[in-house]
Amino acid sequence: MGIHEKKSDTIVNICFIGHLAVDSIVRFKQKRKPTLGGSVTFGSLSLKKYEKTAKIGIISNLGTLNFDKSLLKRFDDSFIDLRGVKSLEVANTNFIIEYVDHSRTLTLKSRCPNLRFDEIPDFYFSNPPQIIVLAPLCNEISYKYVSKILEAFPRAYIGIDLQGFIRNIDKSGNVSYLREESTITNITKIINLIGDRLILKGSEIEMKMLSNLESPDKIMNWCKVFNNNAIYIMTMGEAGSMVMKYGEELIKIPAYKPKRVVDETGPGDVYLAIFLYEFFISDKSWNKIEEISYKASAAASFLVEKKGPEGFETKKKVMKRIMSKKYIK
């Protein structure tokens, strides 16, 4: 894999769907100033930094009662299309994320309404995205919504961030991964519905919950039960990641060593965004997908070096880190 790769002439049109969140992060008992959060935030901003020619839009609900609209300047400055973001006079989705060592607890303090398919702007249908990333945070995307997306955009690849489809959130806002049959049935139906167009990413804890298994190798082998040509990705923090497709050899990718660890929020979102972009412009061979996975892993390693949605890097710097081969052992 050379550092001076030929630049793609393809302009990729990608849409991220899910709530824009505000994250209040507590690390080592020190509370930080609230920042933009959510998979659509980290995914869209990281991809725009990685490849500035990418055409990126966001479909979301934004609650104006507890959201500082100056935060949206980050998207405007990056030329990310926010015409699909609907402002509502309600409380915005807001999480408190508390880190202790390398584990974290999430508490949902407020939540925007679920997304509605009929609120997607018309221009998305006249100029359809080639990739659609379904990245809910708190079950705001329903099975019906997904089915309508598939009908409206029959040629798009569909990326799924597993977390917001399977989180259990109690009345106090405590977020957990208690395995409930209704939740598993819903996401299983969604996976089967999308089929060969699916690229699914889940963290180790999310994939354990989905499969009801513990061993990483067994979890990835279990994905064969869906009997489709989808791609399944499991991110495991410092242990790296695994990528699986039916009929292909399991890919194991190491994690790259960051210069420092400041904030562990969002690397999985970066991984999925970069993977999807590189996958789309590739020949989609399994050897190429292994290369793509290294790029996604390296891009994700930069995020933890800075607070909030800041630690994104260009493709040139990502490729330089790949060439360094400095992995976490």
Which runs of E-coded beta strand occur in 42-171?
55-63, 81-88, 94-100, 103-110, 131-134, 157-161, 168-169
Count of H-run helices and E-run strands, the chain: 11, 16
User: Looking at residues 3-18, what average pLDDT do you find?
Assistant: 76
Q: Which of 5-9, 41-45, 91-95, 162-166 has the lowest mean pLDDT?
A: 5-9
Select from 130, 139, 76, 146 the least CA-distant residue to 111.
139
Q: Alpha-carbon distance 115 to 149, whole Å? A: 12
Q: Residue 18: name the closest of 107, 66, 85, 80 by CA.
A: 85
Q: What percent of the chain has pLDDT over 70?
A: 96
Count of beta carbons in the 10 Å neighbourhood of residue 177: 16
Task: Compute the C-alpha angle 160/280/52, nearest 5°.
Answer: 95
Q: What percent of the chain has pLDDT over 90?
A: 85
Tokens of 275: 């993977």
User: pLDDT tens-digit profile of 60-85?
Assistant: 999 999 999 999 999 999 999 999 99
Give the residue extent of every domain in the chain.
Answer: 13-324
pLDDT of 97 over the 90 cut: no
In whole angstroms, give the CA distance from residue 213 to residue 316: 38
Condensed to tens digits (0 to 9), the pLDDT of residues 281-310 reads: 999 999 999 999 999 999 999 999 998 888
Element (DSSP H or E) covering residue 229: none
- The DSSP line for 212-273 is T---HHHHHHHGGGG-SS-EEEEE-GGG-EEEEETTSPPEEEPPBPPS--S--SSHHHHHHH
pLDDT of residue 243: 98
Would you say residue 5 has pLDDT above 60? no
Phi and psi at residue 308, to the nearest 5°: 60, -155
The distance of Cα 96 from the centroid of its chain, to the nearest Å, equals: 19
Q: Is the pLDDT of residue 8 over 80?
A: no
Please check whether residue 54 is in contact with residue 11, taking contact to mean a CB–CB distance below 8 angstroms. yes
| Distant-in-sequence contacts of 214-220, Cβ < 8 A, 24+ apart | 216/242, 217/242, 217/250, 220/244, 220/250
Mean pLDDT of the chain: 93
- Match 């996604």 to its residue by tokens: 296
What secondary structure letter does DSSP report for 212?
T
CA-CA distance, 45 to 22, in Å (whole number)?
Answer: 15
Q: What is the CATH number assigned to the segment(s) 13-324?
A: 3.40.1190.20
- Residue from 97, 135, 90 nearest 111 by CA: 90
Give the span between the Cα atoms of 96 and 21, in whole angstroms: 11
Structure-token match 């991110």, residue found: 235
Residue with the two structure tokens 């998979």: 39
Residue 245 has pLDDT above 90, yes or no: yes
